[in-house]
Structure 1
Amino acid sequence: MFEIKRKHLPAIAIICMLVITHMLALNIVHTYPQEYRAFGDDVDDPTNPLIYIGVILVFTAGMLMVFKYGKGEYLQYAILGVVGLTLFYVFYPVLFMVGHPIIEALQFDWAFFISILLAISLTYLLYKKPEWYVVNGIGIIMAAGIAGIFGMSLGILPVFILLIALAVYDFISVYKTKHMVSLASGVMKMKVPVMMVVPQKANYSFADKEGIEQELDEDKEREAMFIGLGDMIIPGILPVAATLHLPAMMVGGHYAPNLVALGSIAGAVIGMIALTRFVLKGKPHAGLPLLNSGAILGYILTYFVIYQNLSFGFVFPF
């Protein structure tokens, strides 16, 4: 019985990280300035997510080419730079809001410099000590921040389009072309927070690993569970969009958009539970089909119960 419980602890930890990431995104997004919106006020244009999808496809193709020609070390530095920049954009608005009275009194934007210091320090820590707890901690912060930016940049309909399209792409890339498995192995060697790592034992060293082949071999003992950072980010976009873009109203003393957001998170959790059952078997599985489906179904059900209409918050710009 003890072995069964220990076997499932990483799955439970991953589910907890998903909830923490999404709840953190819901709380910090309200500190973000309007300048963080990728498309300005045009959040309901259904073509906006196509731009994101195009960027993802180009970035994925570029990474595969880099790995093919053995230039992964250059990509590692580029990703570390992106990590540092993302951390700054996450920290700064939060620290600015918290310290705004002091900033006004001193006429000095200390939040800006502390955000830079935090971003550089954490990025350096990731580079020098890429253990699983460092990767996961930074990954959660990044995932929450990115989900927040996507959620405030896209209305409900564009988010639905994005989640459905990326679920289809994830299915194809894992089960058909299988290039996502190769990409995951290459990224793991760089020790950057593109994958979350949850070990079976606390003394597990992620820094010493050179690939995920053992974790995909059913004949070998699983040392850790891995899940892509995108699996944390993408389903979290919908609850953020819900809390920001749905009509404001109160239901039973609670803010209705927040209730729908929580329903979407609950759906994503159910999807993650289903996903971890497959992952525990040792074979690679596409996460977004289950996670996005859960988030969407949770959203639809909660929206219908609370708003009692079938518009689902869609705004058509034509």
Structure 2
Amino acid sequence: MRRVSLMLLVAFIAAQAIGLVTGWNFIAQQVSVVDNPADIGNSVFLFGYILVGTAAILVLLKYYHGKKLFLLIELLLEFSAMQLFISMFASELVALVGAALLLGLRLGLPQTRGAFLLFAASVVGALLGSSLDIIPAVILSLMLADYDAIAVFGTKHMVTMAKGLDERGAAFAVSLKHKKESIQLGTGDFVIPVLLSVSALKLSALDAVFVVCGGFAGLILMIYVLERHKGYWPALPPIVGGALLFLLVRVVALP
């Protein structure tokens, strides 16, 4: 396995660790973006929201050829995630100031971009996981995994979007490099596994561990394929598939 592939596996575990710590606090404080976490209608709503967001980005890529707007969106995401995280332990004012200072660090040290994106993805995943019970979380994850495969292999608009964002320096992905090697994983491919593990955490810590291990195994499978067949591959199907398979084993074999 290549060095960058090992780095990606470490990044995945780091995202899960950050997400579970954040999610545990969100669950304890009953932080949620929906009124009823058990309502499967939330899965449909969030899926539709993501589709609309994707369509909006594709339209922007077609008609807007600059870079500043995409940078602004990225910084807003990172700022919001940092503010939300800090607000768990401090006042809103401290959270605002702290997030602003960290954002200044992010701008002053461009090489930290990947770390900030990884952190933001972890917090977003934790928020969604805290907001959804396990059934809606599973449904949303399956819908997104199917969509990911169709968008990459079928319509290919996910490939178009990835290339367009990369050209504008706004790939919204964690990029890892070592010498001449490089690998990239979209922020959504971190968000959804964290969503699943945090939602499983509501059941038990053991359920969450099984989900993390399953997602990790799925990522290894994706890397195995990627190292032998270059190009664009959907990461969510193997990651989500592995996570849910391990969760099923946990439920059936260790009730």
TM-score (norm 2): 0.91
Q: Which residue of 1 aligns with 2:20?
A: 26
Q: Which residue of 2 aligns with 1:174?
A: 152
1:72 deviates by 4.2
Superposed counterparts of 1:1-40, under 5 Å: 8-32=2-26, 34=29, 36-40=31-35
**How many corresponding residue pairs?**
252
Q: Which residue of 1 aligns with 2:98?
A: 118
Q: Is the 8 A contact 1:143 1:229 kept in 2?
A: yes
Structure 2 unaligned runs (5+)?
A: none
Structure 2 residue 110 is the aligned partner of structure 1 residue 130: yes
1:227 deviates by 0.7
Structure 2 residue 51 is the aligned partner of structure 1 residue 57: yes
1:182 deviates by 1.9
Between the aligned partners of 2:29 and 2:165, the Cα distance in structure 1 is 33
Q: Which residue of 2 aligns with 1:298?
A: 246
Between the aligned partners of 2:163 and 2:94, the Cα distance in structure 1 is 34
Structure 2 residue 37 is the aligned partner of structure 1 residue 90: no
1:66 deviates by 0.7
Q: Is the 8 A contact 1:49 1:158 kept in 2?
A: yes
Q: Is the 8 A contact 2:78 2:117 kept in 1?
A: no
User: Compared with structure 1, are the counterparts of its residues 191 and 113 closer, same or farther at alpha carbon in structure 2 (3 Å cutoff)?
Assistant: farther
Superposed counterparts of 1:227-242, under 5 Å: 227-242=185-200
Give the number of the structure with larger relative contact order, counting CA–CA contacts within 8 Å between residues 6 or more apart.
2
Equivalent of 2:61, from 67, 79, 82?
A: 67
Between the aligned partners of 1:283 and 1:186, the Cα distance in structure 2 is 15
**3-state DSSP of counterpart to 2:37:** coil
Q: Is the 8 A contact 1:193 1:229 kept in 2?
A: no
User: Compared with structure 1, are the counterparts of its residues 140 and 55 closer, same or farther at alpha carbon in structure 2 (3 Å cutoff)?
Assistant: same
Q: Which residue of 2 aligns with 1:197?
A: 175
State the one-letter code of the partner of 2:187.
L
Q: Is the 8 A contact 1:135 1:197 kept in 2?
A: no
Between the aligned partners of 1:143 and 1:81, the Cα distance in structure 2 is 13
**3-state DSSP of counterpart to 1:36:** coil
Higher normalized helix content (fraction of residues): 2
1:128 deviates by 4.7
Between the aligned partners of 2:173 and 2:22, the Cα distance in structure 1 is 22
Structure 2 residue 209 is the aligned partner of structure 1 residue 262: yes
Between the aligned partners of 2:205 and 2:171, the Cα distance in structure 1 is 29
Structure 2 residue 169 is the aligned partner of structure 1 residue 155: no
Between the aligned partners of 1:181 and 1:193, the Cα distance in structure 2 is 11
Range with bigger deviation, 112-121 or 179-188: 112-121
Q: Is the 8 A contact 1:239 1:265 kept in 2?
A: yes
Q: RMSD of the TM alignment (CA)?
A: 1.9
Q: Which residue of 2 aligns with 1:215?
A: none
Range with bigger deviation, 119-128 or 234-243: 119-128
State the one-letter code of the partner of 1:155.
D
Between the aligned partners of 1:258 and 1:187, the Cα distance in structure 2 is 37
Structure 1 unaligned runs (5+)?
A: 97-108, 202-221, 247-256, 308-318
